[in-house]
Amino acid sequence: MTSPTWPPGPAGPGGEVISEPGHRPWGYAVTLADPDGHVWQITAASPAAS
């Protein structure tokens, strides 16, 4: 049995980064594909300007 790479990258073992994490006009986002080929987009809103 082989052990997975630890710590795994942002897409996890066997996953793929589709678009690098980065700032967008509305916040931050990254797009990943998991090992089964499902595409995920993880987002976070920017804090409101004071």
Distance CA 1, CA 15 (A): 20
Q: What pLDDT does residue 1 have?
A: 43
Q: What pLDDT does residue 2 have?
A: 46
Q: What pLDDT does residue 11 have?
A: 60
Q: Where exactly are the structural domains of the chain? A: 16-42
Q: Which helix (H) or strand (E) holds 19?
A: strand 16-24
> Is-contact 19 35, C-beta < 8 A?
no
Q: What pLDDT does residue 15 have?
A: 82
Q: What pLDDT does residue 44 have?
A: 92
Q: Residues 9-37: pLDDT tens digits?
A: 666 677 888 988 899 888 999 999 988 88
